[in-house]
């Protein structure tokens, strides 16, 4: 499995953690080892542009998924093979959500990575039943990933003196946002 991680923000993010998570989740979901995934971390402005263009919703969001080969989870007999797609994550929005939820930004970004992968595999949360299924699975995957890596310390932070890109975005465009992905 190939997981490419790129960071176009000022945030200090260890790409290996997200590559390892991507490989592990794809393995758990029975996606072929021949499959590819891309994870991109961006500032509020680029994700807001994607959000408007692809979802017709204003403002930055936390995560967006762009499937390539319409892969679905494999079963015990078959592995799903192909290019899974791209996940775009905004650490600034993740940090805001993490603070509101009472956990770390890193935990939020790992959760968003799993959430994005599940979307790429066809999961959705448009109905209460779909939401229960998808959110239950992403919680199970995240907790298992944490349990397997007990004692590992992960950080995601903005270097001292780096500008607050979300505050700058809101100053230019206002604070009205339509979350959705």
The answer to whether 80 and 30 are in contact (CB under 8 A) is yes
Residue 175 lies in a domain: no
The answer to whether 87 and 64 are in contact (CB under 8 A) is yes
Task: Name the pTM for this structure.
Answer: 0.82
Please state, in angstroms and rounded to a whole number, the distance separating the CA atoms of residues 151 and 154: 10
Question: Which domain, by its residues, includes 133?
Answer: 2-150
Please state, in angstroms and rounded to a whole number, the distance separating the CA atoms of residues 43 and 60: 9
Residue 35 lies in a domain: yes
Residue 144 lies in a domain: yes
Task: List, as one string, the DSSP characters of the chain.
Answer: -EEEEEE-SSSEE-HHHHHHHHHHHHHHTTB-TT-EEEEEE--HHHHHHHHHHHH---S--SEEEEESS------SS--B-SEEEEEEE-HHHHHHHHHHHTS-HHHHHHHHHHHHHHHHTT---SSHHHHHHHHHHHHHHHHHHHHHTTT----EEPPTT---HHHHHHHHH-S------
The pLDDT mean for the chain works out to 85
Q: pLDDT means per 10 residues in the chain (181 residues)?
A: 93 94 93 89 95 92 87 55 87 93 92 96 93 95 88 66 69 63 54
Write out pLDDT tens, residues 86-136.
Answer: 999 999 999 999 999 999 999 999 999 999 999 999 999 999 999 999 999
CATH number, domain of 58, equals: 3.40.390.30
Residue 173 lies in a domain: no
Residue 74 lies in a domain: yes
Binding residues for Zn(2+): 115, 119, 125
Residue 167 lies in a domain: no
Residue 164 lies in a domain: no
Split into its structural domains, the chain has a count of 1
Residue 133 lies in a domain: yes
Task: List, as one string, the DSSP characters of 44-59.
Answer: HHHHHHHHHHHH---S
Binding residues: 115, 119, 125
């Amino acid at each position: 499995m190939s997981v490419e991680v790129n960071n176009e923000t000022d945030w200090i993010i260890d790409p290996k953690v997200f590559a390892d998570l991507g490989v592990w989740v794809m393995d758990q979901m029975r996606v072929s080892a021949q499959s590819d995934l891309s994870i991109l971390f961006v500032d509020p402005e680029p994700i807001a542009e994607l959000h408007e263009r692809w979802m017709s919703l204003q403002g930055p969001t936390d995560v967006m998924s762009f499937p390539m080969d319409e892969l679905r989870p494999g079963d015990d007999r078959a592995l799903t093979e192909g290019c899974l797609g791209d996940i775009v994550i905004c650490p600034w929005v993740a940090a805001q959500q993490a603070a509101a939820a009472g956990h770390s930004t890193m935990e939020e970004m790992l959760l968003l990575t799993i959430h994005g992968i599940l979307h790429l595999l066809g999961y959705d949360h448009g109905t209460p039943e779909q939401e229960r299924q998808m959110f239950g699975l992403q919680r199970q995957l995240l907790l298992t990933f944490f349990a397997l890596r007990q004692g590992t310390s992960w950080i995601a932070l903005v270097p001292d003196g780096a500008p607050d890109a979300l505050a700058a975005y809101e100053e230019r465009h206002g604070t009205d946002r339509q979350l959705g992905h």
